[in-house]
Amino acid sequence: MDRYSIAYGSWIIKRRWLIIMLSLFLTILAVAGARNLVFNGDYRIFFSEDNPRLKAFAVLERTYTKTDNILLVVKANDNNIFNPETLDIIKQMTEEAWLMPFSSRVDSGTNYQHTLAEDDDLTVRDLVPNPKSLTAEDVAYIRDIAVNDPLIAKRLVAEDGATVGIFVTLQIPEGTNSPEEPVMAYSRAMVAKYMALDPNLTIVLTGITALNNAFVETSLHDMQFLTPL
Protein backbone atom coordinates (compact mmCIF):
# COMPACT_ATOMS: atom_id res chain seq x y z
CA MET A 1 0.00 0.00 0.00
CA ASP A 2 1.52 3.38 -1.04
CA ARG A 3 1.82 6.34 1.27
CA TYR A 4 -0.97 8.25 -0.47
CA SER A 5 -3.46 5.49 0.30
CA ILE A 6 -2.32 5.41 3.93
CA ALA A 7 -2.57 9.18 4.22
CA TYR A 8 -6.03 9.19 2.62
CA GLY A 9 -7.24 6.42 4.94
CA SER A 10 -5.95 8.29 7.98
CA TRP A 11 -7.64 11.48 6.80
CA ILE A 12 -10.98 9.65 6.42
CA ILE A 13 -10.73 8.08 9.89
CA LYS A 14 -9.84 11.36 11.59
CA ARG A 15 -12.80 13.16 10.00
CA ARG A 16 -15.24 10.26 9.92
CA TRP A 17 -18.05 12.07 11.73
CA LEU A 18 -17.75 15.10 9.49
CA ILE A 19 -17.84 12.88 6.41
CA ILE A 20 -20.82 10.90 7.74
CA MET A 21 -22.77 14.10 8.47
CA LEU A 22 -21.85 15.57 5.10
CA SER A 23 -22.96 12.38 3.33
CA LEU A 24 -26.28 12.41 5.19
CA PHE A 25 -26.80 16.06 4.31
CA LEU A 26 -26.14 15.44 0.62
CA THR A 27 -28.46 12.42 0.67
CA ILE A 28 -31.28 14.44 2.26
CA LEU A 29 -30.69 17.22 -0.26
CA ALA A 30 -30.93 14.76 -3.15
CA VAL A 31 -34.10 13.15 -1.77
CA ALA A 32 -35.70 16.56 -1.27
CA GLY A 33 -35.14 17.33 -4.93
CA ALA A 34 -36.73 14.04 -5.97
CA ARG A 35 -40.20 15.49 -5.40
CA ASN A 36 -39.65 17.53 -8.55
CA LEU A 37 -39.11 14.40 -10.64
CA VAL A 38 -42.13 13.62 -12.82
CA PHE A 39 -42.78 11.28 -15.71
CA ASN A 40 -43.95 12.79 -18.95
CA GLY A 41 -44.89 10.35 -21.68
CA ASP A 42 -45.44 13.04 -24.31
CA TYR A 43 -43.06 12.55 -27.23
CA ARG A 44 -42.93 16.36 -27.63
CA ILE A 45 -40.52 16.63 -24.69
CA PHE A 46 -37.79 15.28 -26.94
CA PHE A 47 -37.93 18.47 -29.01
CA SER A 48 -37.26 22.09 -28.09
CA GLU A 49 -40.15 24.55 -28.17
CA ASP A 50 -38.44 26.32 -31.08
CA ASN A 51 -38.07 23.19 -33.19
CA PRO A 52 -39.45 24.16 -36.63
CA ARG A 53 -40.80 20.70 -37.36
CA LEU A 54 -42.61 20.56 -34.02
CA LYS A 55 -44.09 24.01 -34.67
CA ALA A 56 -45.28 22.95 -38.12
CA PHE A 57 -46.76 19.79 -36.65
CA ALA A 58 -48.61 21.84 -34.00
CA VAL A 59 -50.10 24.05 -36.72
CA LEU A 60 -51.19 20.95 -38.62
CA GLU A 61 -52.90 19.56 -35.50
CA ARG A 62 -54.68 22.85 -34.80
CA THR A 63 -55.86 23.07 -38.40
CA TYR A 64 -57.09 19.50 -38.75
CA THR A 65 -56.96 17.14 -35.78
CA LYS A 66 -54.58 15.88 -33.12
CA THR A 67 -52.87 12.54 -33.56
CA ASP A 68 -53.39 11.16 -30.06
CA ASN A 69 -54.97 7.79 -30.63
CA ILE A 70 -55.33 4.15 -29.63
CA LEU A 71 -55.66 1.33 -32.14
CA LEU A 72 -57.13 -1.97 -30.99
CA VAL A 73 -56.06 -4.64 -33.46
CA VAL A 74 -58.39 -7.64 -33.43
CA LYS A 75 -57.29 -10.85 -35.13
CA ALA A 76 -59.34 -14.01 -35.46
CA ASN A 77 -57.19 -17.03 -34.71
CA ASP A 78 -59.16 -18.98 -37.32
CA ASN A 79 -58.35 -16.17 -39.81
CA ASN A 80 -61.98 -15.18 -40.35
CA ILE A 81 -63.60 -12.21 -38.65
CA PHE A 82 -66.59 -12.36 -40.97
CA ASN A 83 -69.14 -14.29 -38.97
CA PRO A 84 -72.06 -13.00 -36.86
CA GLU A 85 -70.42 -13.79 -33.51
CA THR A 86 -67.11 -12.04 -34.20
CA LEU A 87 -68.76 -9.07 -35.92
CA ASP A 88 -71.03 -8.68 -32.89
CA ILE A 89 -68.01 -8.53 -30.57
CA ILE A 90 -66.31 -5.97 -32.82
CA LYS A 91 -69.46 -3.87 -32.76
CA GLN A 92 -69.61 -4.09 -28.95
CA MET A 93 -65.96 -3.05 -28.71
CA THR A 94 -66.59 -0.15 -31.08
CA GLU A 95 -69.46 1.13 -28.93
CA GLU A 96 -67.49 0.65 -25.72
CA ALA A 97 -64.51 2.52 -27.17
CA TRP A 98 -66.65 5.66 -27.30
CA LEU A 99 -66.57 5.64 -23.49
CA MET A 100 -62.78 5.56 -23.33
CA PRO A 101 -61.29 8.59 -21.52
CA PHE A 102 -60.75 11.50 -23.96
CA SER A 103 -62.38 9.57 -26.82
CA SER A 104 -63.75 11.87 -29.54
CA ARG A 105 -64.20 9.48 -32.46
CA VAL A 106 -64.18 5.74 -33.11
CA ASP A 107 -63.73 4.14 -36.52
CA SER A 108 -63.95 0.42 -37.17
CA GLY A 109 -65.00 -2.11 -39.74
CA THR A 110 -68.50 -2.30 -38.26
CA ASN A 111 -69.43 1.38 -37.98
CA TYR A 112 -67.99 2.36 -41.36
CA GLN A 113 -70.58 4.56 -43.04
CA HIS A 114 -71.58 2.63 -46.14
CA THR A 115 -73.73 4.23 -48.83
CA LEU A 116 -76.49 2.25 -50.54
CA ALA A 117 -78.14 3.45 -53.74
CA GLU A 118 -81.73 2.41 -54.42
CA ASP A 119 -83.26 4.10 -57.45
CA ASP A 120 -83.06 7.81 -56.63
CA ASP A 121 -82.47 7.29 -52.93
CA LEU A 122 -79.16 7.16 -51.09
CA THR A 123 -79.00 5.48 -47.71
CA VAL A 124 -76.00 5.89 -45.41
CA ARG A 125 -75.70 3.47 -42.49
CA ASP A 126 -73.25 1.37 -40.52
CA LEU A 127 -71.76 -1.42 -42.60
CA VAL A 128 -72.78 -3.85 -39.84
CA PRO A 129 -75.95 -2.48 -38.20
CA ASN A 130 -77.16 -5.66 -36.46
CA PRO A 131 -74.61 -8.51 -36.46
CA LYS A 132 -76.81 -11.04 -34.65
CA SER A 133 -79.41 -11.06 -37.44
CA LEU A 134 -76.97 -11.54 -40.32
CA THR A 135 -77.56 -14.28 -42.86
CA ALA A 136 -74.80 -16.00 -44.82
CA GLU A 137 -75.59 -13.72 -47.77
CA ASP A 138 -75.35 -10.64 -45.55
CA VAL A 139 -71.95 -11.73 -44.24
CA ALA A 140 -70.66 -12.35 -47.77
CA TYR A 141 -71.86 -8.88 -48.83
CA ILE A 142 -70.22 -7.21 -45.82
CA ARG A 143 -66.96 -9.03 -46.46
CA ASP A 144 -66.96 -7.97 -50.11
CA ILE A 145 -67.38 -4.32 -49.15
CA ALA A 146 -64.87 -4.43 -46.28
CA VAL A 147 -61.99 -5.98 -48.21
CA ASN A 148 -62.53 -3.97 -51.40
CA ASP A 149 -63.69 -0.49 -50.40
CA PRO A 150 -60.52 1.66 -50.59
CA LEU A 151 -61.60 3.74 -47.58
CA ILE A 152 -61.29 0.81 -45.18
CA ALA A 153 -59.63 -2.05 -47.07
CA LYS A 154 -55.99 -2.45 -45.93
CA ARG A 155 -56.66 0.34 -43.43
CA LEU A 156 -59.20 -0.92 -40.93
CA VAL A 157 -59.75 -4.35 -42.45
CA ALA A 158 -57.04 -6.73 -43.68
CA GLU A 159 -57.53 -7.99 -47.22
CA ASP A 160 -57.40 -11.61 -46.02
CA GLY A 161 -60.34 -11.00 -43.68
CA ALA A 162 -58.43 -12.13 -40.61
CA THR A 163 -57.85 -8.81 -38.86
CA VAL A 164 -59.79 -5.63 -38.15
CA GLY A 165 -58.82 -2.39 -36.44
CA ILE A 166 -60.76 -0.21 -34.03
CA PHE A 167 -59.24 3.25 -34.26
CA VAL A 168 -59.96 5.61 -31.36
CA THR A 169 -59.16 9.29 -31.83
CA LEU A 170 -58.44 11.05 -28.54
CA GLN A 171 -58.76 14.73 -27.68
CA ILE A 172 -56.45 15.23 -24.71
CA PRO A 173 -56.48 18.78 -23.28
CA GLU A 174 -53.10 20.49 -23.14
CA GLY A 175 -51.44 20.19 -19.76
CA THR A 176 -53.32 17.04 -18.72
CA ASN A 177 -51.16 15.14 -16.24
CA SER A 178 -50.41 11.53 -17.24
CA PRO A 179 -53.35 11.13 -19.64
CA GLU A 180 -51.94 7.80 -20.82
CA GLU A 181 -52.75 6.06 -17.53
CA PRO A 182 -56.58 6.12 -17.68
CA VAL A 183 -56.56 5.48 -21.43
CA MET A 184 -54.31 2.43 -21.15
CA ALA A 185 -56.15 1.11 -18.10
CA TYR A 186 -59.46 1.30 -19.97
CA SER A 187 -57.98 -0.19 -23.16
CA ARG A 188 -56.31 -3.08 -21.34
CA ALA A 189 -59.53 -3.85 -19.50
CA MET A 190 -61.31 -4.02 -22.86
CA VAL A 191 -58.65 -6.36 -24.25
CA ALA A 192 -58.88 -8.68 -21.25
CA LYS A 193 -62.69 -8.65 -21.30
CA TYR A 194 -63.15 -9.52 -24.96
CA MET A 195 -60.32 -12.02 -25.22
CA ALA A 196 -61.92 -13.86 -22.30
CA LEU A 197 -65.31 -13.60 -23.99
CA ASP A 198 -64.03 -15.12 -27.24
CA PRO A 199 -60.84 -17.24 -27.03
CA ASN A 200 -60.71 -17.22 -30.83
CA LEU A 201 -59.61 -13.58 -30.74
CA THR A 202 -56.18 -12.07 -30.22
CA ILE A 203 -56.31 -8.35 -29.41
CA VAL A 204 -53.31 -6.04 -29.15
CA LEU A 205 -52.90 -2.32 -28.52
CA THR A 206 -50.89 0.22 -30.46
CA GLY A 207 -51.08 3.92 -31.38
CA ILE A 208 -49.47 7.20 -30.31
CA THR A 209 -50.86 7.10 -26.77
CA ALA A 210 -49.73 3.50 -26.30
CA LEU A 211 -46.25 4.56 -27.47
CA ASN A 212 -46.16 7.46 -25.01
CA ASN A 213 -47.22 5.13 -22.23
CA ALA A 214 -44.44 2.72 -23.15
CA PHE A 215 -41.89 5.47 -22.45
CA VAL A 216 -43.31 5.95 -18.95
CA GLU A 217 -43.54 2.25 -18.13
CA THR A 218 -40.03 1.58 -19.43
CA SER A 219 -38.65 4.40 -17.27
CA LEU A 220 -40.41 3.05 -14.18
CA HIS A 221 -39.12 -0.44 -14.92
CA ASP A 222 -35.57 0.87 -15.29
CA MET A 223 -35.84 2.76 -12.00
CA GLN A 224 -36.90 -0.41 -10.20
CA PHE A 225 -34.30 -2.73 -11.65
CA LEU A 226 -31.40 -0.65 -12.98
CA THR A 227 -31.16 2.37 -10.66
CA PRO A 228 -30.40 0.26 -7.54
CA LEU A 229 -27.40 -1.17 -9.39
DSSP string, 53-106: HHHHHHHHHHHS----EEEEEEEETTS---SHHHHHHHHHHHHHHTTSTTEEEE
Has residue 62 been placed in a domain?
no
What integer is the mean pLDDT of 181-201?
97
Residues 126 and 168 grouped into a single domain: yes
The HSE-up count of residue 5 (CA atoms within 13 Å, CB side) is 2
Range of 72's domain?
A: 67-220
pLDDT bucket at 177, cuts 50 / 70 / 90? confident
Has residue 101 been placed in a domain?
yes
Strand partners, 114: 125
Q: What confidence tens digit (pLDDT) does each residue in 146-176 have?
A: 999 999 999 999 999 999 999 999 998 877 8
Q: Provide the number of structural domains found in the chain.
A: 2
Residues 130 and 21 grouped into a single domain: no
Range in 24-33, 185-194, 200-209 the model is least confident about: 24-33
Q: What confidence tens digit (pLDDT) does each residue in 132-149 have?
A: 999 999 999 999 999 999
Has residue 52 been placed in a domain?
no
Residues 15 and 71 grouped into a single domain: no
pLDDT bucket at 39, cuts 50 / 70 / 90? low
Of residues 44 and 22, more confidence is placed in 22
CATH code, domain carrying 76: 3.30.70.1430
Residues 120 and 197 grouped into a single domain: yes
